[in-house]
Chain A
């Protein structure tokens, strides 16, 4: 286990305000399809949320939306990090099996770019 790498991720969240918003996020979308299936089979994974005044106090769906975006952003940003890519592949395979139970291998892509 690479402890230095793990703590690097924790320390990222301790970076104070002079680094705030140095990345402007755009909306990223994850799509999955069975391997070798036609392009028409791409299926989008995209959590949804709704907002009313109550959600100002309690909004786990919103947290999920932004947690998912953060995860995709991290995968995109650290595309050379084999550990992140390993988590991402495992995650995509789990999603693929849910969406296409009859398939065993999947392709996935992230659409959109973070600026």
Chain B
């Protein structure tokens, strides 16, 4: 397997590129969230106002517009600190609006990457800070898989396959053919459930070398695509992809 040698500046640029792309997609979804069918199934402004005890001046669409504009500003002016601070502020506003999380782990990962990127810009992307940022993001991304795998490994339902059956049967998006296969063929469910546990538990091995890393990152992208088609988690795919160059950095340079 050929794993290309990429320098750290380029890998940092890749993290930033994929991150901004992921946030751009997130922001567009948020801009349209209040206009789609079923949008009344989230607490509305009046209900949120009752929580805050005062009138909150900002809606989900407005947060989306601010995040969208700040990403465009970040792209157009890659040295200015202001747009990343605006992006951080709007992301925190969204957290306030939804009591912490709108889309679970993908929101957490967004902030895990955003905060060090802000720090990097504060220090004018000094190479020492850039390296520290890549370490931080890479380790967090690896831990996100490993700890998820550890949690699954402690649950016997993952080893029997029934946990995966439960996820697929409760999914609102899984293709009926795929759902039928998982529900009717327990051996298939068990095989994939164990494969997921082993993949996640084994993810720290990705730091062993560039070649092993390349393998794990490719498998990770396929894993997230599978999760998207089974559970509809599109945001996870893009935001985890943003962490991949940082993992590759640790595997390439981090141990030298």
Contact = CB atoms under 8 A, between A and B. Distances in A.
Contact of A51 (B109, B111, B148, B228): B228
Contact of B234 (A7, A17, A56, A74): A56
B234 A84 contact: no
Interface residues of B, number: 64
A57 B25 contact: yes
A15 B140 CA distance: 11
Interface in A41-88: 45-51, 55-71, 74, 83-84, 86-87
Interface residues of A, number: 54
Nearest to A9: B99
A47 B109 CA distance: 25
A51 B38 CA distance: 16
Interface in B121-172: 139-141, 143-144, 147-148, 151-152, 155, 166, 170-172
Interface string A1-45: 100001101111111111011101111000000000000000001
Interface in B226-251: 228-229, 232-235, 237
Contacts of A25: 104
Interface of B: 25, 28-30, 32-33, 36-44, 46-48, 50-54, 92, 95-96, 98-105, 107-109, 111-112, 115, 139-141, 143-144, 147-148, 151-152, 155, 166, 170-173, 175, 225, 228-229, 232-235, 237
A70 B234 contact: no
Contact of B235 (A9, A16, A63, A95): A63
A13 B110 CA distance: 9
Given A14-B111, A67-B42, A20 B147 contact: yes
B72 to A, nearest CB: 17
A12 B100 contact: yes
A26 B101 contact: no
Contact of A18 (B143, B232, B235): B143
Closest 5 CB pairs of A and B: A12-B100, A27-B170, A1-B53, A17-B140, A9-B99
Nearest to B236: A66
Given A63-B29, A95-B40, A84 B99 contact: yes
A43 to B, nearest CB: 13
Contacts of A14: 95, 108, 111, 115
Contacts of A27: 170-171
A55 B204 CA distance: 30
A20 B144 contact: yes
8 contacts: A13-B107, A14-B111, A17-B139, A20-B105, A47-B38, A49-B232, A51-B228, A63-B30
Given A17-B147, A51-B173, A26 B166 contact: yes
Contacts of A9: 95-96, 99-100
Given A17-B139, A17-B147, A64-B42, 13 more contacts: A7-B96, A9-B95, A13-B100, A20-B144, A24-B152, A49-B232, A51-B175, A56-B225, A61-B37, A66-B103, A67-B102, A87-B48, A90-B43
